[in-house]
Amino acid sequence: MPREPPLSVNSGSVTNRTLIKDLASSSDGPVSVSGWVETVRDQKKVQFVVLRDETGAVQLVNPRATDADGAIVATDVSGTITSLSQGSFLTATGDLKHDERVKLGGVEIKLETLDVTTIAIPETPIADDSGIDKRMDWRFLDLRVPKNALIFKIQTTLEHAWRTYWVENDFVEIHTPKLMASASESKAELFRVDYFEGSAFLSQSPQFFKQMAQSAGFGKIFEVGPAFRADPSFTSRHATEFTSVDSEISWIDSHEDVMKLHEELLVAGFQAVKDKHGAEIEALFGFELVVPTIPFPRIPLAEAKEIVASRGYEVPRADDDMDPEGERQIAAYVKETYGHEFVFLTDYASSIRPFYHMRHADDPSLTNSYDLIFNGVEISTGAQREHRVEILEEQARSKGLEPEELSGYLDFFRYGVPAHGGFGMGLSRVLMLMLHLANLRETTYLFRGPTRLEP
C-alpha cells in the first residue's frame, strides 16, 4: 500500500514561474521554479536539491542555519529537504546566482521557500538497468529521464516540419475513419470489434480513403493518424497499433514523383530536427544527426538481391520481398558505396504487391512501387496506384478478390480519377532509426503489442 506522505502539501498553484531553460538568460535575483526532485544531497553544513522540469535541471542550495555557538538550527526549508523523496513535485523560490563553477548550467538558486505539491513514494520501481518491459510498465517514470523525454520533443519537431512542408505546398489534411465495415487492404491481420448489432474492423491503413480524396479532386493530401494490425509479431520493430504517416498526390507520371515527394519531406523533417535538437542529440545519444542528401539512391529489387548475394547472403525466396537480413545488407552496401542512410528499392513484383499497385506498361510482372529502407529497416511502402477501373477489377481477381466485395472502393474510379500515387510510413520506426535505437518501444509513447494493453 502507498505510504502516507511525510509532509503537508499545497494545492499546486504557481504564479510567476520561470522555466529552468530560461534561468541562464535571467538576471540574478528573486526567482521561482517548479518541477520534480531528481536528487537530494543532505549534507551537514549545506543541502543540495537538483530540480528538473520539462526544460532542464537546476541546483537548489540551502546553507544550514546556525546559532551563535555554530550549532545547526533546524528550519522549515531544511526539514522539508531532509524529508524529500526522488520524484516529488514542488515549487522553489530563492535568489538566482550565476556562477561558472556550477556544473549544472552555470547557475544555482539559494533557497528561501519550498512548497511541496506532491510527495513521491521513496522506493522507485525502475532503475537505470531495468529491462524494457519493466520500463514500459512504469512508462510515466521512464519518460522523466531526459534522454527518453527528448525523443518526444524530436517527434513534435519532426511532425511540425512535415506538416509545414505539406501546408506550404498546398496539401489538404484529412482524417479518415478508423472503424471500417470491411478490410481496408487485406483480410489478414484484422482486428474485429463489436459494433452495435454487428461487427466492424479497425483500420489497417487509410489507403482507400486517401485514393477517394483523389477522386474528390483534392489533388494532394496527408494524414498522420493511428493504424491497427493484428500481427502476432514480437520483433523490435512491430506493433499492433502505430502512427501512420500518409500522403497521396494526383497527376503523377510514375512512382518517381512519389519518391521525390517522400525524400523532400524527410529532408525537411531531418533538417528541422538537426537545427533544433542537434546538440542535445549529440550530448544524450552520442552521435551527430546527418541530414540526408537528395536524391536518395534507387535500386531495383532484383538488382538489390544480386548485390546482397554478392555480399554472401541469399534472400531465402527469390520471388519474395527482401527479408530483414537482406535489408541490412543492402543498407550496408548503400552506406559503403553512396555514404547514404536511405535507399529506395523499386520495381517490386506484382505477385507480392497489392492489387491496386500499377504494373509496368512493358512488364506486368513488375509494379510501379518501392520500399524505403532507412539504416537497414523498411520504413515505408509507396507506389503509383492503378486508376483504370477495368484493370483494377482484373488485378483484384488475379489476387483472389471478387470485385463485388470491393464495390465501394471501385466506385471511386467509375466517376473519374486522375493518375495518382502515395505512401504510408511508420512514425515510430522513423524515430527509432533516426536516433539509432534498437526497439520501437523506445519511440512509442505507449506501446501496444500482442501481450501489452497497459498502461
288 is in an annotated binding site: no
Question: How far is residue 441's CA from residue 439's CA, in Å, rounded to a whole number?
Answer: 5
Residues ≥6 apart with Cβ < 8 Å to 193: 179, 199, 200, 201, 202
C-alpha cell recorded at residue 225 = 493518424
Residue whose C-alpha is closest to residue 358's, from 425, 421, 267: 421
52 is in an annotated binding site: no
C-alpha cell recorded at residue 310 = 554478392
433 is in an annotated binding site: no
Structure letter (DSSP) for residue 417: -
- Element (H or E) spanning 369, and its range? strand 369-374
429 is in an annotated binding site: yes
229 is in an annotated binding site: yes
For residues 345 and 381, is the Cβ–Cβ distance under 8 A?
no
Amino acid present at 296? F
Residue whose C-alpha is closest to residue 203's, from 221, 182, 224: 182
SS3 assignment, position 118: strand
Residue whose C-alpha is closest to residue 111's, from 47, 41, 60, 74: 60
Which of 15-23's residues contact partners 24+ apart within 8 Å by CB, and which partners? Answer: 17/91, 19/53, 19/54, 19/55, 19/56, 20/51, 20/52, 20/53, 20/55, 20/56, 20/57, 20/58, 20/105, 21/55, 21/56, 22/55, 23/58, 23/96, 23/105, 23/107, 23/109
301 is in an annotated binding site: no
Strands 192-195 and 298-300: unpaired
385 is in an annotated binding site: yes
C-alpha cell recorded at residue 415 = 466517376
- Give the residue ranges of the annotated binding site: 185, 229, 378, 381, 385, 426-429
- Give the residue ranges of the annotated binding site for ATP: 378, 426-429
- Give the residue ranges of the annotated binding site for L-aspartate: 185, 229, 381, 385
